[in-house]
């Protein structure tokens, strides 16, 4: 990059783009419009392209401006994190792991998936639950170190993400005592008789379940659909109906919710993916998770 490039000029452009115009940017920064305009022109001069153009009375981004804004978002998101990360590193007392957790993933499996890093004495784990696509956007802006999800990231050169399968588990069906006897009889066709609770379409597992039900020609008696897997198991425990969950969680569901495994569907799998931005210097805890994932033993711990 040219030595004439100035990050302060980039910051002024970024504020103009975020605020939607020179006047609003000048008001936010408490500067003269002419000063802001001059700074943006200096940035355009150093880059050799126009970043903004007038359409009537509206100031809009050029294609180059859109690209510049995207990169500026990355730069200033990292800048916001810099003071915190530096202070933590200087103290030597905190190792922060900032994870996004897709709302479709089975939350009860999280502890097993993260067990390789939970014994870190100075760990500070931050978990943010959300929808899959917005979490990937947060990852692209470096606001997250990684995302745990029930599917791999879609191919997108702009996001520059990598996915690794940490493990998978066959799906079993669990019923409260009220429905257990009826559910066991003629399973899986009992799904058309006993009330069924399912994850919503937010969960990748839902599509796999629907495909399996169609192959088996079963029309389930759906009593409820839930985005949150913990909420799903809570309602199942009240007797509302039977539910699907990874078979590895059977003991936990029996002990904490009194649910009984009534059958399994080995053809339907719940998958657990770690999605991260590939970098030359990887977060040490992510490296530990990836190494454990290669051994395929995380979910068997």
Per-residue pLDDT of 242-272, as tens digits, reads: 999 999 899 999 999 999 999 999 889 999 9
For 147-161, 216-230, 286-300, which range has the lowest pLDDT when averaged over its residues? 286-300
**pLDDT band at 5, cuts 50/70/90?**
low
pLDDT computed for residue 2 by the predictor: 46
pLDDT computed for residue 212 by the predictor: 95
Could you tell me which of 276, 277, 270, 275 has the C-alpha nearest to residue 247?
270
Q: Given a cut of 90, is residue 296 above it in pLDDT?
A: no
- What proportion of the chain, given as a percentage, has pLDDT over 70? 88
How many Cβ atoms sit within 10 Å of the Cβ of residue 87?
A: 10
Q: Which residue intervals of the chain bear CATH 1.10.10.10?
A: 7-75
Class of the CATH domain delimited by 168-271: alpha beta
Do residues 131 and 102 touch, judged by C-beta distance below 8 A? yes
pLDDT computed for residue 279 by the predictor: 67
Q: State how far the Cα of 233 lies from the Cα of 249, in Å rounded to an integer.
A: 11
Do residues 196 and 242 touch, judged by C-beta distance below 8 A? yes
Q: Given a cut of 90, is residue 290 above it in pLDDT?
A: no
Q: State how far the Cα of 220 lies from the Cα of 189, in Å rounded to an integer.
A: 8
pLDDT computed for residue 179 by the predictor: 95
With the CA atoms of 17, 22, 28 and 31 taken in that order, what torsion angle do they form, in degrees rounded to the nearest 10? 130
pTM: 0.67
Average pLDDT, whole number, for the chain?
A: 85
Q: Which residue intervals of the chain bear CATH 3.40.190.10?
A: 93-166+272-300, 168-271
For 152-156, 172-176, 278-282, which range has the lowest pLDDT when averaged over its residues? 278-282
Q: What is the pLDDT of residues 74-133, one digit of tens each?
A: 777 767 666 666 665 665 566 888 999 988 888 778 888 888 888 888 888 899 988 888
Class of the CATH domain delimited by 7-75: mainly alpha
pLDDT computed for residue 106 by the predictor: 82
Q: What is the pLDDT of residues 13-37, one digit of tens each?
A: 888 888 888 888 888 888 888 888 8
Q: What is the pLDDT of residues 180-199, one digit of tens each?
A: 999 999 999 999 999 999 99
pLDDT computed for residue 1 by the predictor: 43
Q: Give all strands (DSSP E) within the chain, no chain letters.
A: 52-55, 58-61, 95-102, 123-130, 146-149, 161-175, 195-199, 221-226, 243-246, 260-277
Homologous superfamily (CATH) for 93-166+272-300: Periplasmic binding protein-like II (3.40.190.10)
């Amino acid at each position: 990059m040219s030595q004439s490039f100035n990050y302060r000029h980039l910051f002024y452009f970024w504020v103009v783009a975020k605020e939607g115009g020179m006047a609003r940017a000048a008001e936010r920064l408490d500067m003269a419009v002419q000063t802001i305009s001059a700074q943006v022109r200096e940035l355009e001069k150093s880059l050799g392209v126009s970043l903004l153009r007038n359409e009537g009375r509206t100031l809009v981004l050029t294609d180059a401006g859109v690209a510049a804004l995207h990169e500026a978002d990355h730069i200033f998101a990292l800048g916001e994190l810099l003071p915190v990360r530096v202070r933590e590193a200087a103290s030597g007392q905190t190792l922060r792991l900032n994870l996004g957790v897709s709302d479709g993933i089975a939350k009860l499996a999280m502890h097993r998936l993260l067990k390789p890093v939970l014994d870190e004495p100075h760990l500070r784990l931050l978990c943010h639950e959300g929808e899959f696509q917005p979490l990937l956007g947060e990852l692209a802006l470096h606001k997250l170190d990684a995302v745990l999800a029930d599917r791999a990231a879609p191919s997108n050169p702009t996001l520059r993400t990598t996915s690794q399968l940490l493990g998978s588990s066959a799906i079993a069906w669990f019923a409260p005592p009220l429905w257990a006897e009826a559910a066991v009889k003629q399973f899986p066709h009992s799904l058309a008789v006993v009330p069924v609770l399912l994850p919503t379409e937010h969960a990748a597992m839902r599509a796999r379940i629907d495909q399996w039900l169609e192959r088996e020609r079963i029309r389930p008696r759906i009593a409820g659909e839930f985005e949150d897997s913990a909420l799903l198991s809570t309602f199942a425990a009240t007797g509302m109906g039977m539910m699907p969950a990874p078979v590895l969680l059977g003991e936990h569901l029996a002990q904490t919710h009194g649910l009984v495994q009534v059958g399994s569907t080995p053809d339907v799998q719940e998958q657990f993916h770690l999605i991260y931005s590939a970098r030359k210097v990887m977060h040490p805890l992510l490296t530990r998770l990836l190494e454990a994932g290669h051994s395929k033993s995380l979910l068997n711990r």
